[in-house]
């Protein structure tokens, strides 16, 4: 088993654990939403009509009602239980949001009635609603923070392992570059997809089919390279397009540019 396979096996195992941790966090969030939903239903039960639904999403509350010409429940009014700043843990205000219309249908007139009733509940019980909202949020804060930290930590570890695989693969192709050279897959119909390299500030080599490092300077910052390029050229004698290659050598090309070319196009390298 190669080192990459060992790491991949570890990642697969960690992914299973991560899925469980995310589910645990989701269940905590779901339980909190259920508590808030129960609380809002209690306060606004007399403000809404039969068939209306209350949908809760963190600090937002959406009152919705079925409308015949819609294929979903349409929002009547929404509330935002919010704090002065995102830094604050506790909310201190309730903001309302609803649309205006010139439609005088029964649906819209009844919606106006509901908006008024919701407003009356807020006027009478705003402080109680905010206090209970904060109390529920506080009761779940510790459990949710721990669950989120566990998810974040394991997610970071998995990304770290994935980057390690990428580094190994990059090193493998760079080792090949410094020995036998690296050859790229060629699509003769789309040569423009092949890599290019600026060997000098005003000289770019395109359609690189193969590249190899011949020598390296003592500083390691520059290399002598051999490049094989390709092109489709029209043969006037046969009236056909001919695929041709050309090998050239270049001295003292920046090492970082050569390495970046190869690692960036690693998926095109022929094994």
What pLDDT, on the 0 to 100 scale, is given for residue 238? Answer: 87
Length reported for the chain: 271
The token pair that represents 163 in the structure block: 């980057």
Q: How far apart are CA 231 and CA 233, in angstroms?
A: 6
What pLDDT, on the 0 to 100 scale, is given for residue 235? Answer: 86
Query: What digits encode the pLDDT tens for the residues 102-157?
Result: 999 999 999 999 999 999 999 999 999 999 999 999 999 999 999 999 999 999 99
Low-confidence residues in the chain, pLDDT < 70 = 271
Q: List Cβ neighbours of 78 (8 Å cut-off, separation of 6 or more).
A: 60, 61, 62, 63, 96, 97, 98
The token pair that represents 83 in the structure block: 């704090």
């Amino acid at each position: 088993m190669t080192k990459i396979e060992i790491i991949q096996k570890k990642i697969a195992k960690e992914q299973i654990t991560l899925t469980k941790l995310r589910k645990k966090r989701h269940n905590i969030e779901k339980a909190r939403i259920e508590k808030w939903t129960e609380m809002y239903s209690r306060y606004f039960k007399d403000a809404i009509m039969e068939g209306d639904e209350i949908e809760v999403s963190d600090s937002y509350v959406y009152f919705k009602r079925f409308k015949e010409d819609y294929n979903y429940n349409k929002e009547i009014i929404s509330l935002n239980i919010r704090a002065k700043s995102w830094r604050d843990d506790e909310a201190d205000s309730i903001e309302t949001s609803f649309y205006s219309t010139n439609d005088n249908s029964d649906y819209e007139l009844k919606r106006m009635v509901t908006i008024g009733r919701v407003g009356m509940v807020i006027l009478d019980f705003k402080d109680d609603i905010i206090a209970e909202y904060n109390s529920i949020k506080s009761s779940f804060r510790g459990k949710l923070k721990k669950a989120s930290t566990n998810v974040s930590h394991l997610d970071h570890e998995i990304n770290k392992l994935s980057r390690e695989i990428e580094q190994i693969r990059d090193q493998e192709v760079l080792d090949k570059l410094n020995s036998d050279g690296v050859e790229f897959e060629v699509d003769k119909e789309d040569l423009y997809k092949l890599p290019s390299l600026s060997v000098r500030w005003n000289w770019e080599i395109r359609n690189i089919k193969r590249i190899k490092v011949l020598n390296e300077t003592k500083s390691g910052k520059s290399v002598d390279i051999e490049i094989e390029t390709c092109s489709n050229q029209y043969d006037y004698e046969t009236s056909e397009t001919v695929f041709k290659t050309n090998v050239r050598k270049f001295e003292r090309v920046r090492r970082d540019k050569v390495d970046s070319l190869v690692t960036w196009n690693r998926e095109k390298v022929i094994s």
